[in-house]
Amino acid sequence: MKKKKHMNYDRADVRALRNGNICSRMVGGDYGEVRFDSVEQASIFFARELDYIKTQTYDVEHPEMTALAIFPVTSEVPEGAETFTYYSYDKTGMAAIINNYATDLPRVDVKGEPSTGYVKSIGDSYGYSVQEMRASKMANKSLDVRRGETARYAMDYLVNKIAWAGDKKNKLVGILSEDNDIPKYVLSTVTVDGKERTEFRYKNADQILDDINGMQKYSSKITKNVEKPDTLVLPSHVYIDLSTRRIPDTETTVLKFIMDHAPYLKEVREANELQAESTDINPTGSNVAFLFTNDERKLSLEIPMHFYQYPLQEKGLEIEIPCEQRVAGMVIYYPLSALIVEGI
Element (H, E) at 157: helix 146-165
Residue 187 Rama label (left phi>0; alpha psi -120 to 50; beta): beta
pLDDT for the residue 179: 83
Q: What is the pLDDT of residue 1?
A: 47
Beta strands in 150-287 (DSSP E): 184-185, 190-192, 195-197, 231-235, 267-271
263-279 pLDDT, tens per residue?
A: 999 999 999 999 999 99
Mind listing the pLDDT tens digit for each residue in 138-163? 777 788 888 999 999 999 999 999 99
Whether pLDDT at 3 is above 60: no
Most confident of 85-89, 145-149, 201-205: 201-205
- Ranges 18-22, 68-72, 163-167, 170-174: which has the least confidence: 18-22
Angstrom distance (rounded) from CA 206 to CA 51: 56
Whether 93 has a pLDDT exceeding 90, the answer reads no
**Residue among 314, 2, 288, 280 nearest 129 (CA):** 314
Q: Does 203 score more than 90 pLDDT?
A: yes
Which of these, 269, 26, 224, lies nearest to 137 by C-alpha position? 26
- Beta carbons within 8 Å of 209's beta carbon, 6+ residues apart: 257, 258, 261, 262
Per-residue model confidence (pLDDT) at position 253:
97
What integer pLDDT is reported at residue 91 of this predicted model? 52
Q: Span 284-301, mean pLDDT? A: 96
pTM, two decimals, is 0.85
176/271 Cα distance (integer angstroms): 13
pLDDT category of residue 83 using cuts at 50, 70 and 90 = very high
- pLDDT, residue 134, reads 82
Residue-level pLDDT at 269: 97
Q: What's the pLDDT at 316?
A: 87
| Partner residues linked to 26 by β-bridges | none
Pick 324 or 37 by higher pLDDT. Answer: 324
Give the mean model confidence (pLDDT) for residues 179-191: 93
Q: What is the average pLDDT across 118-135?
A: 93
The predicted pLDDT at position 235 comes to: 97
- Distance of alpha carbon 181 from alpha carbon 335, whole angstroms: 6
What is the pLDDT confidence band of residue 86, given thresholds at 50, 70 and 90? confident
- Structure confidence by residue, pLDDT tens digits, 226-258: 899 999 999 999 999 999 999 999 999 999 999
61 or 329, which is more confident?
Answer: 329
How remote is the C-alpha of 323 from its chain's centroid?
A: 18
Long-range contacts, stretch 261-264, CB < 8 angstroms, 24+ apart: 261/209, 261/213, 262/209, 262/212, 262/213, 262/216, 263/213, 263/216, 264/216, 264/228, 264/229, 264/230
Q: Most confidently modeled of 34-48, 55-69, 169-183?
A: 169-183
Q: What percent of the chain has pLDDT over 90?
A: 65
Task: Reply yes or no on whether the pLDDT at 70 is more than 70.
Answer: yes
Helix/strand/coil for 136: helix
CA 186 to chain centre: 27
Looking at per-residue pLDDT, the higher value among 46 and 242 belongs to 242
Give the pLDDT band (50/70/90) at residue 137: confident
Residue 341: beta bridge partners?
185, 289
Question: Positive or negative, the Cα torsion across 15, 19, 24, 26?
Answer: negative
Percent of the chain's residues with pLDDT above 70: 88
